[in-house]
Amino acid sequence: MTAPRDRYHKMLNTTRWRKLRALHLARHPFCADCAAEGVVTPATEVHHIRPVSIERDPARMERLAFDAGNLAGLCHACHVKRHERMGKGTAEENARRQRAEADLFARRFYGTQTPGGCFSATGAPS
C-alpha cells in the first residue's frame, strides 16, 4: 500500500497537476498572502490550503489535490511560511486552522464583492 505522502508526490508529477497549476498561476498571478498584507508579489508556487496527504482514501486525496477551490497561489517565501505554520501543533489544531484559513480566503476573495461591482462604472453611455 502506498503511503499518502508518496501518493501525493506522484500526483504532483502528473500532467494533470502541471496543467492545473499553470492555469491557477495564470488566473491568480499574485501571491495571496502578500496581497493580504497589501504587497504585490508574483505567485510562483501553488499551495494546497487543505493538505492532500491528510486524506487516507485515494479518491478523496485526488479530489482535494485537483480542487481549484483548495489552491492558493503564493510566492516562495509565503509558501515556506505556510508550511512552517502547518508543521507546528497537533493534527487537530492544523485541521482547524486550515479550515479557518480556507474560510478567510473564500470570504476575502469571493464573499465581499458584489457581482459587477468593479465594472459597473465603466463605459455604457446612457
Q: What residues make contact with Zn ion under the rule CB under 5 A?
A: 31, 33-34, 41, 75, 78
What does the alpha-carbon distance between residue 45 and residue 71 come to, in Å, rounded to a whole number? 10
* Least spacing, CB of residue 4 vs Zn ion, in Å: 27
* Least spacing, CB of residue 79 vs Zn ion, in Å: 8
For residues 18 and 47, the answer to whether their CB atoms sit within 8 Å is no
Q: If you search the block for the grid coordinates 481549484, which residue do you land on?
A: 68
> Closest CB to Zn ion among 7 and 28?
28
> Closest CB to Zn ion among 9 and 85?
85
For residues 25 and 46, the answer to whether their CB atoms sit within 8 Å is yes
For residue 4, give every residue at least 6 positions away whose Cβ sits within 8 Å of its Cβ, in sequence order, or none.
52, 53, 54, 55, 56, 61
> Closest CB to Zn ion among 5 and 76?
76
* Least spacing, CB of residue 26 vs Zn ion, in Å: 18
What does the alpha-carbon distance between residue 105 and residue 90 come to, in Å, rounded to a whole number? 22
For residues 48 and 64, the answer to whether their CB atoms sit within 8 Å is yes
* Least spacing, CB of residue 81 vs Zn ion, in Å: 8
> Closest CB to Zn ion among 33 and 55?
33
